[in-house]
Amino acid sequence: MNKKTLRDIALKGQRVLMRVDFNVPIKSGVIGDDTRVRGALPSIRYVLDQGGSLVLMSHLGRPKGKGYEADYSLKPVADHLATLLGRPVAFAPDCLAADGQAAALKPGEVLMLENTRFYAEEEGKAKKTDGMSESDYKETKAALKEKQKRMAEKLASYGDVYCNDAFGSAHRAHASTAVVCKSMKTCVAGFLMEKEIEYLGGAIEKPTRPFVAILGGAKVSDKLAVVQNLLTKVNVLIIGGGMAYTFLKAQGHEVGKSLCELDQLDYAREMLASAKAKNVRFLLPVDNVCADRFAADAATQITGNDIPAGWMALDIGPETAAQYSEAIRSAKTVVWNGPMGCFEMPAFAKGTLAVCQAVADSGAVSIIGGGDSVSAVNQSGLAGKMTHISTGGGASLEFLEGKALPGVVALDDRA
């Protein structure tokens, strides 16, 4: 963590423009899970306690960038934040028309901007439509990038200091996450961002060994670069979820109707060979919980590595869970991204819950990343026994790939 943080700068009398990740589930104006809002509270309170004022900005959901949409408004989040802070939180209904409100802020006051993604230039991604020529596409793309620059400049005008505390959006080079830094003299990390970088960075670059990585989820193609990068770092790589069956197919096993990416078989063989060459234990399921259809009430059976025709594997089996648990319990560092099966259905949750328990019992430094993994840990009731639960799904995945995150790179380095 060589980036400056809020602790490194004087905040008294400063107006801090802070990017937060308030992309929370909202239904009928009610927030379903405020974990991300609470995660930003330490940085918010620190600025206010130090005598600064705050302009908060975030995205919410995936609006089409064509203006206001009630379902994606951040107003309910602003109201909820006011309750958590015990002080008023003003709201700007247009994130690019908040000049007066921002300028009027006094120390200890908070203003939240409306959803930055109501403007297409926040993401700055041009879409090539049917019939659009290459030259027209390039012209459209260039125009949108120029609008993104202007949006970033407008946002920058609201603050004296920029703070990024939205690790979940740090992998995006958006107006509010990275481009804005080009127009601000001081750009620092918030405490949540600092924590994410320290834990994930420490796990990848200086892990206490044995270092065990657990990867799950549906597709190998989603984690190509992650597998490749982790094979240069870990002592043990554990594979579960749908992606396991591409690897088993590559070894010559029958996988029935299980998820399998035939176009990734050569890659799977290459990774298995790489693990062997690097002396990394590469663990795959030795038995599976299979179903005759994808349903909570499906008929099930436990099979070995060869899955019968017409059946699909939806969870690792008990012997696999035992082997994985044994490997995890000997670890000193664990990174986990992706469930072992369709844990949302009770019949196929045992493998994921066994891994949860093993990680909790290991005593290792444990970093959990990815929305499904986090959900599984929360569902298990063992979240309190994990060292760090990441707030950034896509960002943590790209971090594990070894990619530089634009929202982190843009921040000021420490001397």
Q: Which of 75, 145, 147, 219 is catalytic?
A: 219
- Token reading at 351: 């493998």
Judged by average pLDDT, the poorest of 128-142, 271-285, 306-320 is 128-142
Please report the pLDDT score of residue 68 as a whole number.
96
User: pTM of the prediction?
Assistant: 0.86
Please report the pLDDT score of residue 1 as a whole number.
67
**Rounded Cα–Cα distance for residues 329 and 367 (Å):** 14
Q: Average model confidence (pLDDT) for the chain?
A: 94
CB 40 within 8 Å of CB 59: no
Greatest mean pLDDT among 31-40, 199-208, 351-360 lies in 351-360
**Rounded Cα–Cα distance for residues 188 and 212 (Å):** 32
More confident residue, 31 or 399: 31
Instruction: List CB contacts of 334: < 8 A, sequence separation 6 or more.
Output: 211, 212, 213, 214, 328, 359, 362, 364, 365, 366, 367
Q: Which of 19, 36, 233, 257 is catalytic?
A: 36
> What sign does the dihedral 128-129-131-135 (CA atoms) show?
negative
- 394 in catalytic set: yes
Please report the pLDDT score of residue 216 as a whole number.
93
N-terminal to C-terminal alpha carbon distance within the chain: 12
Distance of CA 389 to the CA centre of its chain: 10
Please report the pLDDT score of residue 120 as a whole number.
95
Please report the pLDDT score of residue 298 as a whole number.
96
Please report the pLDDT score of residue 146 as a whole number.
96
Q: What percent of the chain has pLDDT over 70?
A: 100
Q: Which of 278, 394, 402, 403 is catalytic?
A: 394
Q: Is the peptide bond before 88 cis (omega within 30 degrees of 0)?
A: no
Domains of the chain and any CATH numbers: 6-195 (3.40.50.1260), 207-401 (3.40.50.1260)
- Cβ burial of 222 (10 Å; 0-12, 13-18, 19+) is middle
Instruction: List CB contacts of 100: < 8 A, sequence separation 6 or more.
Output: none
- 100 in catalytic set: no
Chain segment 184-195, per-residue pLDDT in tens = 999 999 999 999
- pLDDT range class, residue 393, cuts 50, 70, 90: confident
Q: Which residues pair with 54 in a beta bridge?
A: 16, 110
- Token reading at 100: 């007066």
Q: Which of 371, 393, 402, 403 is catalytic?
A: 371
Please report the pLDDT score of residue 370 as a whole number.
74
3-state DSSP of 39-77: HCHHHHHHHHHCCCEEEEECCCCCCCCECCCHHHCCHHH
Amino acid 369 reads G
**Rounded Cα–Cα distance for residues 140 and 136 (Å):** 6
Strands (E) in 341-405, as ranges, are 365-369, 388-389
**Rounded Cα–Cα distance for residues 48 and 36 (Å):** 19
Chain segment 19-44, per-residue pLDDT in tens = 999 999 999 889 988 988 999 999 99
Which has the closest alpha carbon to 287: 321, 246, 327, 257?
321
**Rounded Cα–Cα distance for residues 370 and 216 (Å):** 10
- 371 in catalytic set: yes
Indicate whether 236 pLDDT > 80: yes
